[in-house]
Structure 1
């Protein structure tokens, strides 16, 4: 009795070799678009790429993240986070760098003692936790206790007193100029 071992299982979905080249380049810019044009699912087109039935390519303007590209991207992200741009740097009359525009990375966290012991730390050890929901109270606390003191500490004395605008982007947690706690610190 002959067995049909190789004929079992799900059959591969076959796509004609010229079917992909007949699709406009703009219509096959990603796996989902290609799958839609071939009338197959995106997972099927992904499997076809894995089997080397389709050869993926990357845009030369956005190459895959290799080591040099990752370093360049990380430097850009750190510059962005730290505010290291030409507009924020301040120089004195002699051309010396007196303020780089960075205040540091300030996070919405708090510290409290651990409630339970754990394999790596004991009960009562101070641990840092992330604020679950940032509201008006947390924003006011951040402005009053971290941002304003950082500005006062790092602002160069040679610049003298200036009006500094603190932009608040999160609509729900804006601090009003008439807020009493803010006015005490502001003055």
Structure 2
């Protein structure tokens, strides 16, 4: 019999596989079979190491263990290794929200590592939540919200659950600032790509323009073909101002587009009469031109009062019946623009680069034009679902916007146009308001 092999080839030295007890018993039997007088046959160790993809040292250890004890089983148990530290994740409830803004601060408060805490995020025990401030509600505000929601229900005495109005004759208007860029932006770059270099004179005074946006609910025919997009217009609150002195960019006297920074009642009236009203009269479907059209605005002090004589005179021209209405105070969730429309338009706008006021106006206009009418129609369904939630919680704004799976219904070809409201909920809302009166 030849002696054991003393030199381990490079190929077997790098292999590290764990052998279970069944494999070790088979190896032990092969070793005993290929041994004589306590010595292994030549090549046996290398052959077994290659077959089971382990180092020859592992085979030698098994042979030594079998020779001494007669048992090839490993000593490793299920509880081997470092013992886990028990973490009472329910202690998170007792930690202030200010210390829960990052995983690092929360891990420090719990006295555990960030890696250990991340396991709870991975398995869903902890979840990330973005929290936005909401307007503070007074009792009078909540009652006004309830009355507004009830006014949006169809007036019917039928025994079935009441439905919301189609809302086709309501034009939602509101103002919003759009910025040329954000203070901080995230990008995906290649490994060897240079990081973008962005500058501005003062990041607290980034170029911006306020836009007055007007949108109504789109209309579709029986074949789901669009007959009215609902897009009344997006109007930049700007003015043309002559440059007072020359510069490298333009000569003196050149007309420049400047944002109107102070929005007064006169400015609002001017844009309503000269921009919004002509756009409504031009774009409104002719077959519905004789119905009463409501322009819903919020209660900002700079807005025109609903009984403004100058507005009523201009609104009645051409045989139209256009009136102003106000949504309840502190209720941006009752206007489709604040509810979701502005977010979508802004996300589209921020995908384009604008370096001047005129470029920003063009980008916002294109984003408004590219917004899908189908998506706009779904926003009105979201508005109706919010009204239902508002009635459930007695006019408060402490609710989550429900998911209706509108995309699934749209793909099935049965998108709802009116949501039904539980009759008992409506009766309880009426009773709540009457008892408080």
TM-score, normalised by the number of residues in structure 2: 0.27
Does residue 99 in structure 1 map to residue 170 in structure 2? no
Match of 2:303 among 171, 174, 178: 174
Q: Which residues in structure 2 correspond to 1:18-57 (within 5 Å)?
A: 24-25=91-92, 27=95, 29-31=100-102, 34=105, 38=109, 54=114
Judged with a 3 Å threshold, the aligned counterparts in structure 2 of structure 1 residues 149 and 97 are, in CA distance, closer, same or farther, namely same
Shift of 1:66: 7.3
Cα 1:105–1:114 shift into 2, 3 Å: same
Q: Give the drift of 1:94.
A: 5.6
Residue aligning to 1:109: 238
Output the aligned Cα RMSD: 3.9
Q: State the alpha-carbon separation in 1 of the partners of residues 269 and 107 from structure 2.
A: 49
Q: 2:263 aligns with which of 128, 134, 138?
A: 134
Query: After the TM superposition, which of the residue ranges 155-164 and 88-97 deviates more from structure 2?
Result: 88-97
CA distance in 2, matches of 1:124, 1:99: 42
**Mapped contact 2:233–2:276 kept (Cα < 8 A):** no
TM superposition shift of 1:96: 3.1
Q: Distance in 2 between matches of 1:22 and 1:93?
A: 58
Question: Among 308, 314, 318, which residue is 1:185 paired with?
Answer: 314
Describe the shift of the 1:102–1:33 C-alpha distance in structure 2 as closer, same or farther (beyond 3 A). Answer: farther
Q: Which structure would you say has the larger Rg?
A: 2
- Partners of 2:240 and 2:256 within 8 A in 1: yes
Count the aligned residue pairs. 138
Q: How much has 1:177 moved relative to structure 2? A: 3.6
Of 276, 281, 285, which residue of structure 2 is paired with 1:147?
276
Per-residue deviation at 1:82?
8.1
Question: Which of 247, 252, 262 is the aligned partner of 1:123?
Answer: 252
**Residues 129 and 36 of structure 1: is their aligned pair in 2 closer, same or farther, counting only changes over 3 Å?**
farther
Gaps of 5+ in 2: 1-83, 122-126, 131-185, 189-212, 317-437
Secondary structure of the corresponding residue to residue 312 of structure 2: helix
Question: Could you say if the C-alpha distance between residues 94 and 29 of structure 1 is closer, same or farther in structure 2, counting changes exceeding 3 Å?
Answer: same
- Please give the secondary structure, in 2, of the residue aligned with 1:144: helix
